[in-house]
Amino acid sequence: MLELKNVSFEVDDNGDSKGIIKNLNLTIEDGKFTVITGPNGGGKSTLAKLIAGLIKPTEGRIYLDGEDITDLSITDRALKGIGYAFQQPVRFKGIRVIDLLRIAAGKELKVNEACEYLSEVGLCARDYVNREVNASLSGGELKRIEIATVIARNTKLSVFDEPEAGIDLWSFQNLTKIFEKMRNENKEGAVMVISHQERILKIADEIVVLANGTVKMQGPGEEILPKIIGTDAAVDACSMLS
């Protein structure tokens, strides 16, 4: 279980302090698929970076299974079991896909084992297992490879920052199936996804609406979803909460 207690994050804005996250309290429970949504600029990606350890809070503390991890680096948090998938996946020239999966799994994966992870994210393993993680891969391919590395890590908490960004419709449809599988199979760990997409919101156990750096609504998906989604299509109702 992840807990954020009275967490704030400020940046310097031409000599003045600008609050991005404001005295936020949030619990991400084990065994749940939690979706963070809300208007652009509301602090969602900043929240993900605070959890992963890319940035540190100005105030407040962050706990993982009761342990204070506020001052731990991103590497130490990864060792504690926090996985983070970037909105724009990083390219690693000279590193093969299988090498990346082995690093993520923390062991010398056999080719057939690596291929299983690639198959889970809808990639033909034979075509990708020995490819370099470089500019020759499309955004959608990189996204799915990154998700495969998160699955390979079998983390306590997997954080995905707008995983649908920059991918095609087929990849997005496959992505929702991956999340459904993660939700159904990972009963001990937690999955947290930042997304505006109705299809992802529909499979959420818990929805958190974040606007102006604070939690505006939080609760079971079936209770929160009707309040922020129109009957015909997703609407930016969250912006009305800012």
Q: What digits encode the pLDDT tens for the residues 181-226?
A: 777 776 678 999 999 888 889 989 999 999 999 999 999 999 999 9
The whole-angstrom separation of Cα 62 and Cα 67 is 8
Most confident among 40-44, 102-106, 161-165 (mean pLDDT): 40-44
The whole-angstrom separation of Cα 148 and Cα 168 is 17
In DSSP notation, 93-110 reads EEEEHHHHHHHHHTS---
The whole-angstrom separation of Cα 200 and Cα 183 is 11
What number of residues does the chain have?
A: 242
Q: What digits encode the pLDDT tens for the residues 38-77?
A: 998 899 999 999 999 999 999 999 999 999 999 999 999 9
Q: What is the pTM of this model?
A: 0.83
Mean pLDDT of 119-148: 81
Place of tokens 């923390």: 106
Q: Could you tell me the pLDDT band of residue 88, with boundaries at 50, 70 and 90?
A: low
Angle, helix 111-120 to helix 97-105, in steps of 10 degrees: 90
Burial of 79 (0-12, 13-18, 19+ CB in 10 A): exposed
User: What structural domains does the chain harbor?
Assistant: 2-240 (3.40.50.300)
